[in-house]
Chains A and B, each alone.
Chain A
C-alpha cells in the first residue's frame, strides 16, 4: 500500500448560475480590481492508502460521485499524488 493524496476539485457546470462567484467578483471590482470573470470551486484533499494511483483515483472518483459533487450541477476532476 502506498500513501496518496487525492485532490478532488468540484465546480459548477458551465452555464449554471453562480451567484456567490458573481457577488465575489462585484466585491473585487468595488475594491478597484479589474477582472473579466471569476469562477469558484471547492477543493477536497483526501489522504488515503491504496495499492496504486489508479485505485486511489477510483476511490476518490466514487467519493465525488456519491457525495462531494452533485452530478446535476457539478463537474469534478481528481488528481492523485504520492504523499
Chain B
C-alpha cells in the first residue's frame, strides 16, 4: 500500500468504490481501495466512505459497516483532522457511526430514487466547498432508497445554529422548496459536516458528476477537490 494518500474504504456490498477512485485520479489525487479488514494504511491522508449497499443494508443502511473495526480508525483519523467524506451509503455509515449528527432513513416516497438533483452550497468555507461560492447551485445525482435526513428538533436547531448544513436540495434558482426535496429530508438537508469541517457526508454522488465523459454534470468535482 505504498503511496496511498486517499483510502477509499471498501466494505462487502460497497459498489461506488471504483467510481470514487476513478474520479479522484481524474483530479490528480492518488487514491486506492482499501478492504476494511486490512485497516487504514499508515500514510492515509484522506478517507472516502463510498456508496453501495454495505452488508445488504441489514438492520438499517450503514448500521453494520458503522460498527466494523475500521470505523474506529476512521473516527480517530477524523478527530486528528484527516479529511473524511461519506457519500450515499458512506453518509449513512457516517451518521450511524456518529461522525455527523442525524440519521438517513427511508425516502418519503418509499421508493429507490435515481435522478439528478440540485444542491445549494450553504457554506463555501469548508475544504469540500472551497471550489464554490455560497449560494451556488450545483447538479449532482442521487441514487438511494434511504436518504431522508432525520434529526430531532433540538439537534436540528443546533445543526443550523452551528452552521453545519453543507448542502440543501433546491430548485434551479437555488430556492429551497418542498418540490425540490427529493426524499422528504428535514429542512432539505442533503449534506452536513461533522464536528470538524474536515468531515462531511452527503447523499448525492459527487464521484458520478466529476468525469466529463459520464454525463451532463461535472459539478461534483469541486467537492472531491478537497483532497487535491
Which residues of A come within 8 Å of B, CB atoms? 16-20, 22-23, 66-68, 70, 72-73
Which of chain A's residues has its CB closest to B62's CB? A70
Assess whether B63 is in contact with A67, with CB atoms less than 8 Å apart.
Answer: yes
What's the tally of chain B residues with a CB closer than 8 Å to chain A? 21
- B89 part of interface (Cβ distance < 8 Å): no
Chain B residues with Cβ below 8 Å from A68 are 59
Select B102's contact among A18, A23, A72, beta carbons within 8 Å: A72
> Of B147-155, B163-171, B200-208, which stretch is located at the interface?
B147-155
Distance, CA A16 to CA B108, complexed state (A): 11
Give per-residue flags for B102-143: 1 if the beta carbon is below 8 A from chain A beta carbons, else 0.
Answer: 110111111000000000000000000000000000000000
A20 touches B110 (CB 8 A): yes
Known: A67-B63, A70-B103. A16 touches B150 (CB 8 A): yes
Q: Is B106 touching A19 in the complex (CB atoms < 8 A)?
A: yes
Residue B60 CB within 8 A of the other chain: yes
List 14 additional contacts besides A16-B150, A19-B108, A20-B106; criterion CB under 8 Å: A16-B105, A19-B110, A19-B184, A20-B110, A22-B110, A23-B110, A66-B67, A67-B59, A70-B96, A70-B103, A72-B102, A72-B152, A72-B155, A73-B105
24 A-B pairs whose Cβ atoms sit less than 8 Å apart in the complex? A16-B105, A17-B108, A17-B148, A17-B184, A18-B106, A19-B108, A19-B184, A20-B106, A20-B110, A22-B110, A23-B110, A66-B67, A67-B59, A67-B63, A70-B63, A70-B96, A70-B103, A72-B101, A72-B150, A72-B151, A72-B152, A72-B155, A73-B103, A73-B150
CA distance A18 to B105 in the complex (A): 9
Which B residues contact A (CB, under 8 angstroms)? 59-60, 63, 67, 95-96, 101-103, 105-110, 148, 150-152, 155, 184
Bound CA–CA A16/B60 (angstroms):
15
Where chain B touches its partner, the secondary structure class is loop
Q: CA–CA, A19 to B108, complex, Å?
A: 6
Contacts of A23 in B (CB 8 A): 110
CA distance A25 to B212 in the complex (A): 44
Knowing A16-B150, A67-B59, A67-B63 touch, does A72 contact B107 (C-beta < 8 A)? no
User: Which chain A residue has the least Cβ–Cβ distance from B101?
Assistant: A72
Chain A, Cβ-Cβ closest to B184: A17
Once A17-B108, A17-B184, A23-B110 are accepted as A-B contacts, the answer to whether A72 and B103 lie under 8 Å apart by CB is yes
Interchain nearest-CB distance for B96 vs A (Å): 7
In contact, A67 and B110 (Cβ under 8 angstroms): no
Q: How far is the CA of A68 from the CA of B107 in the complex (A)?
A: 20
Considering the chains assembled together, what is the distance between the CA atoms of A70 and B60 in angstroms? 9
**A23 and chain B: residue at smallest CB distance:** B110
A20 to chain B, nearest CB (A): 6
Q: Is the CB of B106 within 8 A of A67?
A: no
